[in-house]
Structure 1
Amino acid sequence: MKLKAIAILIVTGGMISHSALAGTTSATLTVDSIVTMGTCTAQLLDSNDKEISQVAIGDVYISELRNETNKKAFKIRFSGCAGLPQKKALVKLTPRGIGCGGYNANSAGFANAKNGAGAAGRVAVEVWTTKNAEIEAGSEIFNCFSPADKTVNLSSVTATQHFDYDLSAKMVVAEGRQLSDVTPGEFLSPATFTISYQ
């Protein structure tokens, strides 16, 4: 008898649950979200980690142009990266309001925006992807005439760990010119880094 009562209670309990669900044929769901692109914070810094907007090479002697010893290291610091599926950035450097250096204005070097009296002539600035332009293994030039993306691996960047993308600039005799063609004076070459995240 006890067994029969227990069996009836179990069956009845099952019927109650089934009856309660029988009246619900649908449910609604509302999703509220903002879809954003992955990004990082990027800062242009000098070799002492001071934020800059210009790379100040300082005085360059004409003799230094021959030896290409007038290099200035700087970097782009990537930090706080989030939502980057491929964990990389593409960095491109393009001239801003100026042409490229060289006899035919078609070289990798960036030209002087200043001209006329008091402006340096027949020189250009090159920007490289290492601290010590052109010398270090893997160093690549940012080409003024044919700008191309440089890939930066950001897989090590976290909320607390940054990554420094080392760069350097150096003054050179403009392509197609000779050291004897160079005229002393002031030099300024505006350019823009464009960064896209992937």
Structure 2
Amino acid sequence: CIEAVTETVDVFGRLDVLANVAGIVRFRHFTDWTEEDWNFVHGVNLNGPFFMCQAAIPHLLESGGNIVNVASNAGLMGQAYTAAYCSSKGALVQLTRSIAMEYLKQGIRANAIAPAGVATALTQGIDFPENLDSGLIKRYMSVRGMSDPAEIAGAIAFVASDDAKSLHGAVLSIDNGITAG
């Protein structure tokens, strides 16, 4: 993480925005999670953003920049068969809020966006476990369909922009109404 941030600063001269967008989801029956699977999901979804933030914050303090973490609506509500994903994205929301509070008076912002399904390679060909209750899966799928990656990129750009300078410690839901009720 330090190397990636240092290389970015070396090439561009400064760091204005850190957008943590990497994520991975695995579907398992709750009792089928292995420690290896659990740690892998948390490593990508939580540990990666944590260490990227840690490496970026000194540079963001210099530039007055900000952090945008891509969490998930799964971090705001429980979802069947995705315990590691939900817990890692929920923890990412709280990590974002913790950073926001710690740096409240120091000129940088930290926010998260919480999309639902986005039409990417991550959501194509998902390996669902046997004997799952499809009704529980459909419960957190929007009747409006998945979001386009460009919508999520636009939301990140907005949250990182001066047009959103009053957003700090916020979580912006972009989930086609799933968490609305």
- Name the structure with the higher strand share: 1
TM range (shorter): under 0.3
TM-score by length of 2: 0.24
TM-score by length of 1: 0.22
- Name the structure with the higher helix share: 2
Flag the structure with more relative contact order, 1 or 2, with Cα contacts below 8 A and sequence separation at least 6: 1
